[in-house]
Protein backbone atom coordinates (compact mmCIF):
# COMPACT_ATOMS: atom_id res chain seq x y z
CA UNK A 1 0.00 0.00 0.00
CA UNK A 2 1.48 3.42 -0.99
CA UNK A 3 2.49 5.77 1.83
CA UNK A 4 -0.09 8.37 0.75
CA UNK A 5 -2.89 5.79 0.87
CA UNK A 6 -1.73 4.63 4.30
CA UNK A 7 -1.73 8.20 5.59
CA UNK A 8 -5.26 8.80 4.30
CA UNK A 9 -6.43 5.50 5.81
CA UNK A 10 -4.82 6.35 9.16
CA UNK A 11 -6.46 9.79 9.14
CA UNK A 12 -9.91 8.35 8.35
CA UNK A 13 -9.52 5.68 11.02
CA UNK A 14 -8.45 8.29 13.56
CA UNK A 15 -11.43 10.47 12.66
CA UNK A 16 -13.75 7.48 13.04
CA UNK A 17 -12.27 6.69 16.45
CA UNK A 18 -12.69 10.32 17.55
CA UNK A 19 -16.33 10.45 16.44
CA UNK A 20 -17.13 7.06 17.93
CA UNK A 21 -15.59 8.08 21.25
CA UNK A 22 -17.65 11.28 21.36
CA UNK A 23 -20.83 9.32 20.67
CA UNK A 24 -19.78 6.74 23.23
CA UNK A 25 -19.30 9.38 25.93
CA UNK A 26 -22.72 10.85 25.17
CA UNK A 27 -24.35 7.41 25.38
CA UNK A 28 -22.58 6.57 28.65
CA UNK A 29 -23.38 9.79 30.50
CA UNK A 30 -26.65 10.87 28.88
CA UNK A 31 -28.43 7.91 27.30
CA UNK A 32 -27.66 4.95 29.57
CA UNK A 33 -30.03 4.76 32.56
CA UNK A 34 -28.64 5.12 36.06
CA UNK A 35 -28.30 1.80 37.89
CA UNK A 36 -30.64 1.58 40.89
CA UNK A 37 -28.32 0.28 43.61
CA UNK A 38 -24.89 1.63 42.58
CA UNK A 39 -25.95 4.93 41.06
CA UNK A 40 -23.71 6.90 38.71
CA UNK A 41 -20.53 5.06 39.75
CA UNK A 42 -21.82 2.08 37.75
CA UNK A 43 -21.04 4.04 34.58
CA UNK A 44 -17.39 3.06 35.09
CA UNK A 45 -18.59 -0.33 33.84
CA UNK A 46 -18.63 1.06 30.27
CA UNK A 47 -14.91 1.85 30.53
CA UNK A 48 -13.75 -0.95 32.83
CA UNK A 49 -15.06 -3.97 30.92
CA UNK A 50 -14.14 -2.75 27.40
CA UNK A 51 -10.64 -1.97 28.69
CA UNK A 52 -10.37 -5.54 29.99
CA UNK A 53 -11.62 -6.83 26.63
CA UNK A 54 -8.99 -4.82 24.73
CA UNK A 55 -6.28 -6.04 27.12
CA UNK A 56 -7.29 -9.66 26.45
CA UNK A 57 -7.49 -8.99 22.70
CA UNK A 58 -4.02 -7.41 22.75
CA UNK A 59 -2.49 -10.36 24.56
CA UNK A 60 -4.27 -12.78 22.20
CA UNK A 61 -2.65 -10.97 19.26
CA UNK A 62 0.70 -11.30 21.05
CA UNK A 63 0.05 -15.04 21.42
CA UNK A 64 -0.94 -15.57 17.77
CA UNK A 65 1.91 -13.47 16.37
CA UNK A 66 4.41 -15.18 18.69
CA UNK A 67 3.32 -18.57 17.37
CA UNK A 68 3.54 -17.30 13.78
CA UNK A 69 7.01 -15.89 14.39
CA UNK A 70 8.32 -19.20 15.72
CA UNK A 71 6.87 -20.97 12.68
CA UNK A 72 7.85 -18.53 9.91
CA UNK A 73 10.63 -16.44 11.52
CA UNK A 74 9.15 -13.38 9.83
CA UNK A 75 10.06 -10.15 11.60
CA UNK A 76 6.67 -8.55 10.93
CA UNK A 77 5.04 -10.90 13.44
CA UNK A 78 7.49 -9.86 16.13
CA UNK A 79 6.75 -6.20 15.38
CA UNK A 80 3.00 -6.76 15.70
CA UNK A 81 3.44 -8.75 18.94
CA UNK A 82 5.66 -6.07 20.46
CA UNK A 83 3.27 -3.27 19.49
CA UNK A 84 0.19 -5.13 20.72
CA UNK A 85 1.81 -5.96 24.06
CA UNK A 86 2.42 -2.27 24.81
CA UNK A 87 -1.22 -1.42 24.08
CA UNK A 88 -2.35 -4.38 26.17
CA UNK A 89 -0.36 -3.21 29.17
CA UNK A 90 -1.88 0.28 28.85
CA UNK A 91 -5.43 -1.04 28.86
CA UNK A 92 -4.67 -3.56 31.60
CA UNK A 93 -3.43 -0.60 33.67
CA UNK A 94 -6.74 1.17 32.99
CA UNK A 95 -8.55 -1.92 34.28
CA UNK A 96 -6.50 -1.85 37.49
CA UNK A 97 -7.26 1.87 37.91
CA UNK A 98 -10.98 1.87 37.13
CA UNK A 99 -11.62 -1.33 39.09
CA UNK A 100 -10.71 0.06 42.54
CA UNK A 101 -12.52 3.34 41.79
CA UNK A 102 -15.64 1.30 41.07
CA UNK A 103 -15.05 -1.08 44.00
CA UNK A 104 -14.58 1.53 46.75
CA UNK A 105 -18.20 2.77 46.96
CA UNK A 106 -19.68 -0.65 46.12
CA UNK A 107 -17.51 -3.07 48.18
CA UNK A 108 -16.34 -0.47 50.71
CA UNK A 109 -12.73 -1.38 49.88
CA UNK A 110 -10.28 -0.47 47.15
CA UNK A 111 -8.92 -3.97 46.66
CA UNK A 112 -9.60 -7.59 47.55
CA UNK A 113 -7.19 -10.46 46.96
CA UNK A 114 -9.89 -12.45 45.20
CA UNK A 115 -9.04 -14.95 42.42
CA UNK A 116 -10.13 -12.64 39.56
CA UNK A 117 -8.31 -9.55 40.84
CA UNK A 118 -5.18 -11.43 41.85
CA UNK A 119 -4.89 -13.31 38.57
CA UNK A 120 -5.41 -10.11 36.57
CA UNK A 121 -2.67 -8.39 38.56
CA UNK A 122 -0.40 -11.36 37.82
CA UNK A 123 -1.28 -11.01 34.13
CA UNK A 124 -0.29 -7.35 34.25
CA UNK A 125 3.07 -8.24 35.79
CA UNK A 126 3.61 -10.97 33.18
CA UNK A 127 3.32 -8.53 30.30
CA UNK A 128 5.38 -5.89 32.08
CA UNK A 129 8.05 -8.59 32.29
CA UNK A 130 7.51 -9.27 28.58
CA UNK A 131 8.28 -5.63 27.76
CA UNK A 132 11.31 -5.66 30.05
CA UNK A 133 12.57 -8.82 28.35
CA UNK A 134 12.42 -7.10 24.99
CA UNK A 135 14.58 -4.27 26.32
CA UNK A 136 17.23 -6.40 28.01
CA UNK A 137 17.86 -9.22 25.50
CA UNK A 138 20.51 -8.38 22.90
CA UNK A 139 20.27 -9.43 19.29
CA UNK A 140 17.17 -8.97 17.17
CA UNK A 141 16.60 -12.65 16.34
CA UNK A 142 17.38 -13.79 19.88
CA UNK A 143 15.13 -11.12 21.40
CA UNK A 144 12.26 -12.00 19.08
CA UNK A 145 12.62 -15.72 19.78
CA UNK A 146 12.75 -15.33 23.58
CA UNK A 147 9.86 -12.84 23.51
CA UNK A 148 7.75 -15.20 21.39
CA UNK A 149 8.21 -18.06 23.84
CA UNK A 150 7.46 -15.76 26.78
CA UNK A 151 4.41 -14.30 25.02
CA UNK A 152 2.97 -17.77 24.38
CA UNK A 153 3.56 -18.90 27.96
CA UNK A 154 2.21 -15.64 29.42
CA UNK A 155 -1.06 -15.92 27.51
CA UNK A 156 -1.88 -19.11 29.42
CA UNK A 157 -2.97 -16.86 32.30
CA UNK A 158 -5.67 -15.13 30.21
CA UNK A 159 -8.13 -18.09 30.23
CA UNK A 160 -7.57 -18.41 33.99
CA UNK A 161 -8.49 -14.76 34.51
CA UNK A 162 -11.60 -15.15 32.36
CA UNK A 163 -12.75 -18.37 34.03
CA UNK A 164 -11.82 -17.43 37.60
CA UNK A 165 -15.27 -16.18 38.63
CA UNK A 166 -16.74 -19.43 37.30
CA UNK A 167 -14.21 -21.72 38.98
CA UNK A 168 -13.86 -20.11 42.43
CA UNK A 169 -15.93 -18.07 44.87
CA UNK A 170 -15.15 -14.46 44.14
CA UNK A 171 -16.26 -11.03 45.34
CA UNK A 172 -16.12 -9.94 41.71
CA UNK A 173 -19.62 -9.93 40.16
CA UNK A 174 -20.69 -12.72 37.82
CA UNK A 175 -21.05 -12.06 34.07
CA UNK A 176 -24.01 -9.83 33.20
CA UNK A 177 -23.51 -9.47 29.45
CA UNK A 178 -25.57 -12.35 28.14
CA UNK A 179 -29.08 -11.58 27.02
CA UNK A 180 -32.26 -12.72 28.72
CA UNK A 181 -34.14 -11.65 31.78
CA UNK A 182 -31.38 -12.81 34.12
CA UNK A 183 -28.62 -10.84 32.44
CA UNK A 184 -28.83 -8.01 34.96
CA UNK A 185 -28.53 -5.35 32.26
CA UNK A 186 -31.27 -3.04 31.06
CA UNK A 187 -31.60 -3.25 27.23
CA UNK A 188 -30.37 0.36 26.91
CA UNK A 189 -27.39 -0.46 29.15
CA UNK A 190 -26.60 -3.48 27.00
CA UNK A 191 -26.76 -1.39 23.81
CA UNK A 192 -24.43 1.24 25.27
CA UNK A 193 -22.06 -1.45 26.52
CA UNK A 194 -21.75 -3.08 23.09
CA UNK A 195 -21.19 0.29 21.43
CA UNK A 196 -18.49 1.04 24.00
CA UNK A 197 -16.96 -2.36 23.26
CA UNK A 198 -16.94 -1.55 19.55
CA UNK A 199 -15.40 1.88 20.18
CA UNK A 200 -12.61 0.53 22.36
CA UNK A 201 -11.89 -2.22 19.83
CA UNK A 202 -11.67 0.36 17.04
CA UNK A 203 -9.35 2.41 19.25
CA UNK A 204 -7.14 -0.66 19.75
CA UNK A 205 -6.70 -1.29 16.02
CA UNK A 206 -6.01 2.40 15.38
CA UNK A 207 -3.37 2.49 18.11
CA UNK A 208 -1.90 -0.79 16.85
CA UNK A 209 -1.50 0.64 13.36
CA UNK A 210 0.21 3.75 14.72
CA UNK A 211 2.51 1.73 16.98
CA UNK A 212 3.53 -0.61 14.16
CA UNK A 213 4.33 2.42 11.98
CA UNK A 214 6.48 3.91 14.75
CA UNK A 215 8.23 0.57 15.33
CA UNK A 216 9.04 0.20 11.64
CA UNK A 217 10.38 3.76 11.60
CA UNK A 218 12.63 3.03 14.57
CA UNK A 219 13.91 -0.13 12.87
CA UNK A 220 14.67 1.82 9.70
CA UNK A 221 16.61 4.41 11.70
CA UNK A 222 18.60 1.68 13.45
CA UNK A 223 19.40 0.05 10.11
CA UNK A 224 20.64 3.38 8.74
CA UNK A 225 22.78 3.91 11.85
CA UNK A 226 24.29 0.42 11.49
CA UNK A 227 25.06 1.04 7.81
CA UNK A 228 26.71 4.39 8.61
CA UNK A 229 28.66 2.83 11.47
CA UNK A 230 29.88 0.02 9.19
CA UNK A 231 30.88 2.52 6.52
CA UNK A 232 32.73 4.59 9.14
CA UNK A 233 34.65 1.52 10.29
CA UNK A 234 35.58 0.65 6.71
CA UNK A 235 36.83 4.20 6.16
CA UNK A 236 38.82 4.09 9.39
CA UNK A 237 40.45 0.79 8.45
CA UNK A 238 41.29 2.13 5.00
CA UNK A 239 39.20 -0.43 3.17
CA UNK A 240 37.39 2.18 1.15
CA UNK A 241 39.32 4.33 -1.26
CA UNK A 242 38.52 8.04 -1.21
CA distance 29 to 91: 21
pLDDT at 55: 96
Please work out, in degrees rounded to the nearest 5, the angle formed at the alpha carbon of residue 239 by the alpha carbons of 237 and 242. Answer: 105
What percent of the chain is predicted at pLDDT more than 70?
88
- Render pLDDT for 143-191 as a digit per residue (tens, 0 to 9): 999 999 999 999 999 999 888 877 777 666 666 555 444 456 788 899 9
Tell me the sheet residues that pair with 39: 35
What are the structural domain ranges in the chain?
A: 1-31, 43-172+208-224
Helices (H) and strands (E) in the chain, counts: 7, 0
- Render pLDDT for 65-113 as a digit per residue (tens, 0 to 9): 999 999 999 999 999 999 999 999 999 999 999 998 988 887 788 888 8
Interval 49-53 mean pLDDT: 95
Amino acid sequence: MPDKTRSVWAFLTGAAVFCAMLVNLYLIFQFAPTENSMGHVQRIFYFHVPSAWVAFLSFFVVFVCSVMYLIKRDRKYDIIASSSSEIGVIFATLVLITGPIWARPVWNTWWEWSPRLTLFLVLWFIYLAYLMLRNFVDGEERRARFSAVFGIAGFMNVPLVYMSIRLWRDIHPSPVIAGGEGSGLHPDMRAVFFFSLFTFTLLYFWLLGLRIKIEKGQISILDIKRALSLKREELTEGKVEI
